[in-house]
A and B are shown apart, each in its own frame.
Chain A
């Protein structure tokens, strides 16, 4: 067992870049699994769905339902591929860490913060594109003093998004290791925690996805649509 939190770093000296090699490898593995599932589900699409096609259709229609309620059909069509990919990626990422010798990409803050920043940048970009100056103006409402609170809130969004997921997954994996260390021959707590980690992995993937959707819907809603 390597020391918790200490990561193997690959340095690209010429460009001054440092990469966490395990995180990248695991991310590629997760991407491969997600693409494999997608391929299995869509290689033989049928009017009467079977097997993986059902799984993917349930995921897509479920997320569509959530998004329709939050942001309306038009915005949903634009963002659904992103949100569905986000959910599938996070779900597989969270669960892959429970396999011995593998680790979740989401136990690295670089992954979660990267995704959170991507979401927040897209949120603001789409808000500006949809609402223009009115979007900037809404930070100064109801009085200009509120800009401080609004800015803090906007900064808090990606941070809470990133740390919630990162903390949950990393804590889960650390506890798996610790439980095995302190009670080597008593596996019941370890098994229970593993089961709970599956639950947490699903829930956290869903929470991250739904919060992103909520942020998107808030920023893209014009005042007319709100009424």
Chain B
């Protein structure tokens, strides 16, 4: 039942042949594939880590930029407000000046008109006085000296401030 014969040697050779074939056909390619997969996974993990770090960095950068942009925007708004305020004040000031100027101009105009009116009234008075005087005297002195006398008289009146007529 238990006989050892040449089969033993044949089986050893058979097995060695099998080892040789399997090593070439299966073992080496599979181990290579396992190694390649391991490398690939490692690479993917490394890459994912690097990308996560990169994303964190970018996010921090964006946040920083956003914060600085907000500060800048606030600055711009503040500036604009200040300028608007300034402009409003300027315009109010200008308008006030304008009003002042117009009032002064109006006053001057009024004064000028009054002066003109006074002049007119004065000359009227002179003429009337001459007429009256010539009538009273009845004699006609030459017009020139008459006018002079009356004008002097009226001037004198002005100087002495006789009557209610104010200049």
Question: Shortest CB–CB separation between residue A193 and chain B, in angstroms?
Answer: 21
The answer to whether B26 and A42 have CB atoms under 8 Å apart is yes
The answer to whether B34 and A39 have CB atoms under 8 Å apart is no
CB-nearest residue of chain A relative to B1?
A: A5
Q: A47-B40, A57-B34, A114-B15 are in contact. Are A41 and B7 (CB under 8 A)?
A: no
Q: Identify B26's interface contact among A5, A20, A41, CB under 8 A.
A: A41
Selecting from A82-90, A95-103, A141-149, A194-202, the interface stretch reads: A82-90
A151 at the interface (CB under 8 A from B): no
Question: Shortest CB–CB separation between residue A178 and chain B, in angstroms?
Answer: 15
Main secondary structure on A side of the interface with B: helix
Q: Identify A110's interface contact among B5, B22, B31, CB under 8 A.
A: B5
Which chain B residues border A111 with CB–CB below 8 Å? Answer: 7-8, 11
Q: A5-B1, A56-B30, A113-B4 are in contact. Are A84 and B22 (CB under 8 A)?
A: yes
Question: Shortest CB–CB separation between residue A58 and chain B, in angstroms?
Answer: 11
A173 at the interface (CB under 8 A from B): no
Which chain B residues border A38 with CB–CB below 8 Å? Answer: 21-22, 25-26
Question: Shortest CB–CB separation between residue B44 and chain A, in angstroms?
Answer: 11
The answer to whether B22 and A35 have CB atoms under 8 Å apart is yes
Alpha-carbon separation in the docked complex, A165 to B7 (Å):
17
Q: Identify A89's interface contact among B12, B18, B30, CB under 8 A.
A: B18
B70 at the interface (CB under 8 A from A): no
The answer to whether B34 and A60 have CB atoms under 8 Å apart is yes
Alpha-carbon separation in the docked complex, A117 to B17 (Å):
16
The answer to whether B12 and A45 have CB atoms under 8 Å apart is no
A133 at the interface (CB under 8 A from B): no
Which chain B residues border A6 with CB–CB below 8 Å? Answer: 1
Selecting from A24-32, A184-192, A211-219, the interface stretch reads: A24-32
The answer to whether A109 and B12 have CB atoms under 8 Å apart is no
Which chain A residues border B2 with CB–CB below 8 Å? Answer: 5, 109
Alpha-carbon separation in the docked complex, A82 to B21 (Å):
11
CB within 8 Å of A: which B1-53 residues: 1-12, 14-19, 21-23, 25-31, 33-34, 36-37, 40
Which chain A residues border B7 with CB–CB below 8 Å? Answer: 18-20, 23-24, 108, 110-111, 114
The answer to whether A114 and B18 have CB atoms under 8 Å apart is no
Which chain B residues border A89 with CB–CB below 8 Å? Answer: 15, 18
Question: Shortest CB–CB separation between residue A103 and chain B, in angstroms?
Answer: 13
CB-nearest residue of chain B relative to A17?
A: B6
Alpha-carbon separation in the docked complex, A126 to B34 (Å):
27
Most chain A Cβ neighbours within 10 Å, of B3, B10, B11: B11
A7 at the interface (CB under 8 A from B): yes
The answer to whether B19 and A81 have CB atoms under 8 Å apart is yes
Which chain B residues border A127 with CB–CB below 8 Å? Answer: none
- In addition to A31-B14, A81-B28, 5 A-B residue pairs with Cβ atoms within 8 Å of each other are A18-B5, A19-B10, A20-B5, A111-B11, A114-B15
Query: What residues make up the interface of A, taking CB atoms closer than 8 Å to B?
Result: 4-7, 9, 12, 17-20, 23-24, 27-28, 31, 34-35, 38-39, 41-42, 45, 47, 49, 53, 56-57, 60-61, 80-82, 84-86, 88-89, 105, 108-111, 113-115, 117-118
CB-defined A-B contacts under 8 Å, sample of 22 = A5-B2, A7-B3, A9-B5, A17-B6, A20-B7, A23-B11, A24-B7, A31-B14, A42-B26, A47-B37, A47-B40, A60-B27, A81-B23, A85-B19, A85-B22, A85-B27, A109-B4, A110-B4, A110-B11, A114-B7, A114-B8, A117-B12
The 10 lowest CB-CB distance pairs between A and B, nearest first, are A5-B1, A38-B26, A110-B7, A17-B6, A114-B11, A81-B23, A18-B5, A110-B8, A85-B19, A114-B8
